[in-house]
Amino acid sequence: EGIEPKYRRILLKFSGEALMGEANYGIDPKLVQQIAQELQELNRIGIEIGLVIGGGNIFRGAGLAAAGMDRVTADHMGMLATVMNALALQDALERLGVFCRVMSAIRINEVCEDYLRRRAIRHLEKGRLVIFAAGTGNPFFTTDTAASLRAIEIGADLLIKATKVDGVYSADPMVDPNAQFFPRLSYDQVIARNLAVMDATAIIMCRDHSLPLRVFDMHKVGSLTHIIKGEDVGTLVSR
């Protein structure tokens, strides 16, 4: 139907804050619904979609540890927070009729499937959207790193990171009006300039496996479809 996708299999990363909306904690069902609708459209045209969601709208390990909690316990709580977000999104997708599975890096079998790479790929091939929950399953990592790891594992053509601004800037454009926008960057530029794209571990994994990364503004409805068509939306990080 007029859409000639450039990418067949993508991995999309949302931070937990993406589900929060105007609130400062938790999940806004309206936003979850909105994200689910955009994903439904991509699923309908046959794009294979893996999703990684953060947990920062509920708990972040570093924040809890700064308040005195044991870091590993705090990270376990952060990972469980991503499972809750994943369940919310799965629910919204299923209500739209999109087949969807949550696969967790931590075993919680009463709640969702375990992450098994081969099974994840099989789900994608059958047109099911897969939400990868609980990050990498290890403390001291982030969901950015989980996103690059899962993208590489499932052989995604593109890693897409949804943010609140329309790409990568030399400084935070919400704070510094002179911040310079970068339509394209190399992995090494991102690392050398310490640009706030994804954490360094995630960027280095993308670089070492030549996985292109696009950063875009999730508030602009329809952007994902443009990206899938190969249009220049946001910032592309590649070789």
What residue numbers does the annotated binding site cover?
13-16, 55-56, 60, 75, 136-143, 163, 169, 172
- The answer to whether 16 contacts ligand UDP (rule: CB under 6 A) is yes
Q: Which amino acid is at 149?
A: L
Q: Which is nearer to ligand UDP, 81 or 98 (CB)?
A: 81
16 DSSP assignment: G
Q: How many CB atoms lie within 10 A of CB 179?
A: 15
Minimum distance from residue 69 beta carbon to ligand UDP (Å): 10
- Per CB under 6 A, the segment of 131-139, 151-159, 173-181, 183-191 that binds ligand UDP is 131-139
CA distance 29 to 102: 18
Angle at 152 between CA 147 and CA 154, to 5 degrees: 95
Instruction: Provide the token pair at 14.
Output: 């949302």
185 DSSP assignment: E
Minimum distance from residue 129 beta carbon to ligand UDP (Å): 19
- The answer to whether 78 contacts ligand UDP (rule: CB under 6 A) is yes
142 DSSP assignment: -
Q: Which is nearer to ligand UDP, 60 or 123 (CB)?
A: 60
**x/- map, 53-72, ligand UDP, by CB under 6 A:** -xxx---xxx----------
Residue numbers belonging to the annotated binding site for ATP: 13-16, 56, 60, 163, 169, 172
CA distance 40 to 35: 9
Instruction: Provide the token pair at 42.
Output: 């991509």
Angle at 233 between CA 153 and CA 156, to 5 degrees: 10
Minimum distance from residue 140 beta carbon to ligand UDP (Å): 6
The count of C-alpha atoms lying within 13 angstroms of the C-alpha of 64, restricted to the half-sphere facing its C-beta, is: 21
The residue within the footprint of ligand UDP, chosen from 32, 79, 84, 106 (CB under 6 A), is 79
Report whether 62 contacts 72 (CB < 8 A): no
- The answer to whether 15 contacts ligand UDP (rule: CB under 6 A) is yes
CA distance 213 to 17: 20
**x/- map, 17-36, ligand UDP, by CB under 6 A:** x-------------------
The residue within the footprint of ligand UDP, chosen from 32, 104, 135, 234 (CB under 6 A), is 135
The residue within the footprint of ligand UDP, chosen from 43, 90, 104, 136 (CB under 6 A), is 136
- Per CB under 6 A, the segment of 74-82, 163-171, 180-188, 231-239 that binds ligand UDP is 74-82
- The answer to whether 132 contacts ligand UDP (rule: CB under 6 A) is no
Minimum distance from residue 198 beta carbon to ligand UDP (Å): 9
Q: Which helix (H) or strand (E) holds 39?
A: helix 29-44
